[in-house]
């Protein structure tokens, strides 16, 4: 056996070894990420319930904050720069008010989709995500820029679906990935099985780093006040009502102070301009 044959044999052995390590790392990453997604979905479902209960209070407080902020700005502009620049603040307030309303609508729409996954759905999510991220990892087509770009986009879609508990999208991709790709308008691809040693080493390193990051993120999540509230609510459902009432009381107290401040600014503006102040407190 000459030196060339020996290099080829050694290289193939290293590749097989790396492939086995990568497969194990991918399985471990799938496990910890799926677990993290399940725990996060529980917390987000709880946040969605609180938001739905307190949305009107949140919006009332936010609007009062805007009124106070822009009335202060109006008075300052009026005293420093005159009526013309002060009137610009009125238009800025209208835009900020419209932007805030859109943000709340967007948040409400996003949170409306949040729900706690059932045990069966959790298992399906884990299995589908594990299968798909392994199949469409961008490093599988590192030597083809066009395919790599499509794989990156597809992986992002898969991860987003996993993060949001969107089983319908994961099922759609798993059933017919090419149809999903075409629907997005991405370049069509075929699975590529060639993996060079350099790419495998890089992939293994990234997987190991990601595993640690996800474990740390899971630990951080479980130490958060939101997760603590979720755990308490699992033991006693009335806790959520108590927390909602407490938050509502805090918001009411803050709104009372903001309303008083807004009225004081309204009087200042009327005395300085003879006109009504911007916004309704």
Contact present, 144 and 153 (Cβ < 8 Å): no
Q: Which of 116, 120, 130, 90 is nearest to 234 (CA)?
A: 116
Q: Within a domain: residue 258?
A: yes
DSSP track, 76-125: HHHHHH-HHHHHHHHHHHHHHHHHHHHHHHHHHHHHHT--PPPHHHHHHH
- Average pLDDT value over all residues in the chain: 83
Least confident of 74-88, 135-149, 258-272: 135-149
Grade residue 163 by pLDDT with cuts at 50, 70 and 90. Answer: confident
Query: Given the structure tokens 């290293």, which residue do they identify?
Result: 14
Q: Which pLDDT score, from 0 to 100, does residue 145 have?
A: 80
Sign of CA dihedral 35, 39, 45, 47: negative
User: 45 CB contacts (<8 Å, ≥6 apart)?
Assistant: 114, 115, 116
Query: Given the structure tokens 């009411």, which residue do they identify?
Result: 252
Domain extent for 215? 3-273
Q: Within a domain: residue 280?
A: no
Least confident of 55-64, 165-174, 221-230: 165-174
pLDDT beyond 60 at 3: no
Sign of CA dihedral 16, 140, 164, 128: negative
Grade residue 114 by pLDDT with cuts at 50, 70 and 90. Answer: low
pLDDT beyond 50 at 79: yes
Q: Within a domain: residue 278?
A: no
- SS3 assignment, position 275: coil
Q: Within a domain: residue 172?
A: yes
Q: Within a domain: residue 269?
A: yes
- Give the count of domains, the chain: 1
pLDDT beyond 70 at 116: no
């Amino acid at each position: 056996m000459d030196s060339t044959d020996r290099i080829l044999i050694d290289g193939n052995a290293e590749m097989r070894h790396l492939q086995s390590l990568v497969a194990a790392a991918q399985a471990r990453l799938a496990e910890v990420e799926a677990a993290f997604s399940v725990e996060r979905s529980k917390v987000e479902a709880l946040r969605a319930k609180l938001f739905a209960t307190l949305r009107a209070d949140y919006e009332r407080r936010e609007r009062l904050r805007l009124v106070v902020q822009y009335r202060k700005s109006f008075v300052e502009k009026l005293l420093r720069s005159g009526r013309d620049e002060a009137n610009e603040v009125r238009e800025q307030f209208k835009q900020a008010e419209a932007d805030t309303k859109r943000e709340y609508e967007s948040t409400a729409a996003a949170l409306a989709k949040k729900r706690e996954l059932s045990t069966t759905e959790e298992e399906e999510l884990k299995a589908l995500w594990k299968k798909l991220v392994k199949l469409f990892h961008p490093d599988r087509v590192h030597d083809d820029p066009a395919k790599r770009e499509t794989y990156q986009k597809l992986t992002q879609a898969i991860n987003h679906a996993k993060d949001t508990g969107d089983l319908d999208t994961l099922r759609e991709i798993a059933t017919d990935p090419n149809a999903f790709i075409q629907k997005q308008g991405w370049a069509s691809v075929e699975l590529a099985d060639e993996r060079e040693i350099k790419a495998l080493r890089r992939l293994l390193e990234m997987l190991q780093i990601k595993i640690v990051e996800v474990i740390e993120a899971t630990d951080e999540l479980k130490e958060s006040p939101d997760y603590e509230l979720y755990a308490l609510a699992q033991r006693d459902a009335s806790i959520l009502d108590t927390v909602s009432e407490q938050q509502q009381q805090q918001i009411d107290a803050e709104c009372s102070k903001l309303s008083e401040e807004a009225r004081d600014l309204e009087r200042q503006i009327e005395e300085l301009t003879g006109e009504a102040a911007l916004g309704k407190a």
